[in-house]
């Protein structure tokens, strides 16, 4: 996805060169599962794969969206901001960004030709949605000569996701895609929000195993978990679950509906795990980091119930493999992918053995995706 290659594709489709090319990375949720919209803390990593956008302005008010995934052009006008469906639904991400811009005092580009390309695997929980939102925001701003600081660009992406696309996510995905730094993890205090980076342990690597499974009605399940967390917060008399300690939550268990209590316990204890992970990273205790990652998955499995049999099998198999420090589901759950944090003793041969064991049990082979860290959203 080099600038030159994308510009060539753009010229082949639209018959002219793009005015601006941008790129934003996907992300790995390292630890902090469903903590972001509860005002908590989270660690993520921007990766060396992402979404690139090329754009050139038009004077006739037409908006031509082309994706290398669909190989089709969706043509709208500036007066058609309505949410799209079917094969055109991917345009809701850039359309959501356009709809968000005025909320931040920024003007909206009217007509344009737009090309999106990606080397992110779909359905792997690597947040292609945040990547396309941030790449689109930088392209729309750059083409109109506007600037915004990095935090505002991140908030524009989150606004698009929440209010146009309709997913009640927190700021994790957009924050990591925006503030990523090669060789580092991104720490986000979501209540601020406040962003910082923490160095990755030397010699550690990420391995993603994408199951290509996805629970039916996954969006509804995500919304249900969000609602259950808010129910618990109201019962506790707080705005966000981050305001509650694990001890206070256990003491108030009788006040909370049992399912909502389980969700809240996962979130409150997960926030504590994030803090422990940051401390372990700072002292170089990678074994401790790995045990916290696996503990996070067990909590997702038993308390938040956003895991699946496929994800659980991968975690079980990975943590029993030499060279793996820990493993957990990454992303919203209900299918998708597992992330393993591994050292030099875990390589392609060991990853293939894990995939083979999975295939023997489930009849399909997961994708194996070794991942490196990468920098955040940028104009190329």
From the list 36, 113, 117, 173, the catalytic residue is 173
pLDDT of residue 216: 55
Reply yes or no on whether 173 is catalytic.
Answer: yes
Which residue among 179, 200, 221 closes a domain? 200
Where in the sequence is the domain holding 186, given as residue range(s)?
3-200
Predicted confidence pLDDT, tens digits, the chain (380 residues):
789 999 999 999 999 999 999 999 998 899 999 998 899 999 999 998 999 999 999 999 999 999 988 888 999 988 766 788 888 889 999 999 999 999 999 999 999 999 999 988 765 567 788 999 999 999 999 999 999 999 999 999 999 999 998 887 778 889 999 999 999 999 999 888 899 999 988 889 999 999 988 765 456 888 899 999 999 999 999 999 999 999 999 999 999 999 999 999 999 999 999 999 999 999 999 999 999 999 999 999 999 999 999 999 999 999 999 999 999 998 888 888 899 999 989 999 999 999 999 999 999 999 999 988 999 999 99
pLDDT of residue 78: 84
Two tokens at 254?
């009788």
185 and 270 share one domain: no
> Peptide bond before 302: cis, by omega within 30 degrees of 0?
no
- Measured over the CA atoms of residue 122, residue 335, residue 195 and residue 277, the dihedral's sign is negative
Establish if 330 belongs to a structural domain.
yes
**Domain holding 118: CATH number?**
3.30.230.10
Determine contact, residues 49/25, Cβ cutoff 8 Å: yes
Q: What angle do CA 166, 169, 172 make, to 5 degrees?
A: 145
Number of domains in the chain: 2
Q: Distance between CA atoms of 309 and 305, rounded to whole angstroms?
A: 11
158 and 274 share one domain: no
Q: Distance between CA atoms of 273 and 262, rounded to whole angstroms?
A: 16
Which residue among 200, 225, 260 closes a domain? 200
Determine contact, residues 49/130, Cβ cutoff 8 Å: no
Determine contact, residues 260/266, Cβ cutoff 8 Å: no
Nearest one of 120, 155, 162 to 26, comparing CA atoms: 120
**Domain holding 219: CATH number?**
3.30.70.890
Nearest one of 215, 181, 201, 375 to 287, comparing CA atoms: 201
Task: Decide: pTM greater than 0.95.
Answer: no
């Amino acid at each position: 996805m080099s600038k030159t290659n994308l510009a060539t594709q753009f010229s082949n489709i639209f018959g002219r060169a793009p005015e601006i090319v941008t790129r934003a990375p996907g992300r790995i949720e390292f630890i902090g599962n469903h903590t972001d919209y509860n005002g908590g803390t989270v660690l993520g990593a921007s990766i060396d794969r992402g979404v690139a956008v090329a754009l050139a302005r038009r004077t006739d008010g037409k908006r031509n969206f082309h994706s290398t995934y669909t190989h089709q052009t969706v043509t709208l006008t500036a007066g058609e901001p309505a949410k799209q469906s079917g094969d055109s639904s991917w345009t809701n991400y850039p359309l959501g960004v356009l709809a968000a811009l005025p909320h931040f005092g920024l003007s909206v580009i009217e007509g344009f030709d737009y090309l999106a390309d990606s080397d992110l695997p779909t359905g792997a929980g690597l947040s292609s949605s945040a990547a396309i939102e941030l790449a689109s925001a930088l392209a729309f701003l750059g083409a109109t000569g506007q600037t915004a600081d990095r935090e505002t660009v991140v908030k524009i992406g989150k606004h698009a996701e929440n209010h146009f696309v309709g997913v009640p996510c927190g700021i994790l995905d957009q924050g990591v895609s925006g503030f990523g730094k090669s060789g580092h993890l991104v720490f986000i205090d979501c209540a601020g929000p406040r962003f910082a980076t923490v160095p990755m342990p030397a010699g550690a690597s990420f391995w993603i195993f994408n199951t290509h499974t996805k629970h039916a009605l996954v969006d509804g399940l995500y919304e249900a978990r969000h609602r259950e967390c808010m129910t618990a917060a109201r019962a506790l008399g707080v705005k966000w679950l981050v305001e509650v300690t694990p001890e206070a939550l256990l003491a108030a268990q009788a006040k909370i509906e049992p399912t909502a209590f389980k969700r809240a316990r996962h979130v409150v204890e997960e926030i504590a795990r994030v803090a422990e992970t940051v401390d372990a990273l700072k002292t170089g205790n990678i074994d401790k980091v790995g045990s916290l990652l696996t503990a996070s998955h067990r909590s997702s499995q038993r308390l938040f119930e956003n895991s699946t049999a496929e994800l659980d099998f991968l975690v079980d198999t990975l943590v029993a493999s030499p060279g793996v420090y820990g493993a957990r589901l990454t992303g919203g759950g209900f299918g998708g992918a597992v992330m393993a944090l591994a050292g030099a003793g875990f390589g392609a041969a060991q990853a293939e053995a894990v995939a083979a064991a999975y295939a023997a049990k489930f009849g399909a082979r997961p994708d194996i995706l070794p991942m490196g860290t990468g920098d955040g959203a940028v104009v190329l």
